[in-house]
Structure 1
């Protein structure tokens, strides 16, 4: 799917997860909604109770302008300290790698705990994470990772190799990335995500990468997924 379509429509993996794991009548929250791309498409799919938040006020204003009916409730909020009540939503959507874009590990943990808190018992959560394993399997990126590791060793940087600078920023090449410049995003390993979610008490019911979704065979645990090639993002379907 082209970048132009991606800006406005659901990507195939998002569409698959939403159609197969969410209920159109459920009270649904999207985290890191940006300009509202996913929620606006969910509205077209028949979802009737939609909420979304983002940390950036300008993005929320853009989202509101795209929904003149005001049927979707867009708000400015911080993922690590949400104003929603306990057990407020029957389903939550974290499909734009919002957790990965939180640089501080403690803040990422707080954001995940908040996601668990606002989800109703028995509710469904959809998560996507940037996959370090998939990125490291690419010949081009593995060379960049080796270079970045050596650069950090020379500088005595304490930052782990899973914190990677954005190679693109604002739609353009981020040349500062080649000098280990900000901004950074955190890329997760498969076992790390599994542990991260279970520590918060999420029950994992399905897991896979872009490849598994395309092949129509999501796994019930990482124990079977780990034996297969991983490509693209990692997706977890969880229950509370």
Structure 2
């Protein structure tokens, strides 16, 4: 299992092309916690995550891992501590699945040396963990969307990060793999910050939730504290009925459209 570190996002604002998309957002994730970002499309979830994994630099505020400013680290140091699964991924060359996963070991290699036997073992174990070992010799570009997603999760796992950032990690996955991926992320050991559209997945797998709307945090707390019908009606425009899973007691939500007044 990976070690984990405390994450602190302190008053982060983000601007793109002169427009402020994220407004002084603060959140925390204790070492080993799974913390979810939820909110409607365009609320700023992905933009905030890009600051955390250093694709964007904050216009204000700071992102800290165990008290250290992530944006002050070298790229190599950052890659040893933070791994990200993004919504957008592209490959111009058709690497094999084994080669794609092995890229996750690059921050740990010394000099120009190639992968070691231990690296190969870690990569094989990660592919086995996401049930994609049989894909090792396949070309990445020829995979389905769900297969690609599982391979990229394996690559993030072999990076052995202290913080794992997941932007809609269940995209393209069937329900069995959705449940499995979020369980694997927790079992792997790092602190996890993830953006999720599926509120039931967020309820079942996150220790704490932050709700973003128009680039601002409007609520935070445990899933039971946050996923209230009044808040969901205001932020998402849906009528939600909370229920409890008959076996686990976990919070789940049933959704209906809110009635709209006649014109």
* TM-score after normalising by structure 1: 0.38
Rg (Cα) greater in structure: 2
Task: Decide which structure has greater helix share.
Answer: 1
* TM-score after normalising by structure 2: 0.35
Structure with the bigger RCO (C-alpha within 8 Å, sep 6+) is: 2
